[in-house]
């Protein structure tokens, strides 16, 4: 699931940096990412409390992937369509969505096929992140909404292919505004991130990273898969 990205060779940095100014077009996809250089997840399906409490039994049931069946062993998971509470924010998972992980790193998988890479298993979806993850969300420094969410300290792989595609980090968002999350105004950013071939440095595709940031609530939501209806789900959430 979404959580960690596999690193691309540092040697690619020179190629990527030189290409960054040319731009890139493409599209991006939607379950949760655990194959990134991001911290290993720990998630819960919960009821409202100071810390989310798990309301579902642990499971190691396999989920479909492009390379076989990968067990969910990163923590607790819950039934699709159930309410999910994270730091007093409760959202209702859409049909086919499942939550996993725990603490300050909750992953929501949206049901599309996962992919195994050198860094782990990468599944479409989105992340709910709390203070400990926010503290390292900008290249191991505290999250800056005016920078791409990039918790790693090197070149990252693109969600579509963490091993084969390397990110070209933009410096200006394609959209910046506020958006409702549980009735509160969140800082909202969209970034179009270019992807180049990890071996040749040639432009291949791009994807959109969407970020909702509630500073006072200590919540960041990250979507690198253009998850359908996620904005509406977050807006319909409630705090309590």
pLDDT in tens, 159-168: 888 889 999 9
The CA-based angle 92-95-98, given to 5 degrees, is 70
Q: Evaluate if residue 19 carries a pLDDT over 70.
A: no
Average pLDDT of the residues in 117-122? 70
Predicted local distance difference test score (pLDDT) of residue 118 = 72
Pairing mode of beta strands 184-197, 175-181: antiparallel
What value does the mean pLDDT of the chain take?
A: 74
Most confident region among 33-37, 60-64, 115-119 by mean pLDDT: 115-119
- Residue 8's pLDDT band, with cuts at 50, 70 and 90, is very low
Q: Evaluate if residue 214 carries a pLDDT over 90.
A: yes
Average pLDDT of the residues in 112-131? 84
pTM over 0.85: no
pLDDT in tens, 64-119: 323 223 333 233 445 667 899 999 999 999 988 999 889 999 999 998 788 777 76
Q: Report d(CA 158, CA 192) in Å as an integer.
A: 12
Predicted local distance difference test score (pLDDT) of residue 120 = 67
| Those residues with Cβ within 8 angstroms of residue 57's Cβ, 6 or more apart along the chain or in another chain | 76
Residue written as token pair 């939550």:
99
Predicted local distance difference test score (pLDDT) of residue 7 = 39
Nearest alpha-carbon partner for 75 in 36, 31, 113, 40: 40
Q: Above pLDDT 90, what percent of the chain?
A: 54
- Between these two residues, 202 and 29, which has the higher pLDDT value? 202
């Amino acid at each position: 699931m979404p959580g960690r990205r596999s690193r691309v060779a540092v040697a690619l940095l020179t190629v990527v940096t030189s290409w960054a100014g040319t731009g890139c077009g493409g599209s991006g996809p939607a379950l949760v990412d655990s194959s990134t250089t991001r911290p290993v997840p720990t998630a819960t399906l919960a009821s409202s409390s100071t810390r989310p409490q798990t309301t579902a039994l642990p499971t190691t049931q396999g989920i479909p992937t492009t390379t076989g069946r990968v067990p969910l062993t990163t923590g607790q998971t819950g039934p699709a369509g159930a309410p999910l509470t994270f730091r007093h924010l409760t959202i209702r998972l859409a049909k086919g969505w499942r939550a996993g992980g725990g603490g300050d790193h909750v992953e929501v998988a949206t049901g599309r096929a996962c992919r195994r890479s050198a860094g782990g298993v990468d599944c479409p979806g989105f992340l709910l992140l709390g203070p400990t993850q926010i503290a390292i969300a900008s290249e191991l420094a505290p999250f800056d909404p005016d920078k791409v969410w990039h918790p790693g300290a090197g070149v990252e792989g693109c969600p579509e292919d963490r091993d084969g595609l390397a990110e070209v980090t933009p410096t200006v968002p394609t959209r910046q505004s506020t958006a409702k999350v549980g009735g509160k105004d969140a800082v909202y950013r969209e970034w179009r991130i270019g992807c180049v071939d990890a071996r040749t440095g040639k432009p291949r595709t791009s994807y959109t990273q969407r970020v909702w940031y509630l500073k006072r609530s200590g919540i960041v939501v990250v979507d690198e898969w253009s998850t359908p209806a996620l904005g509406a789900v977050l807006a319909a959430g409630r705090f309590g």
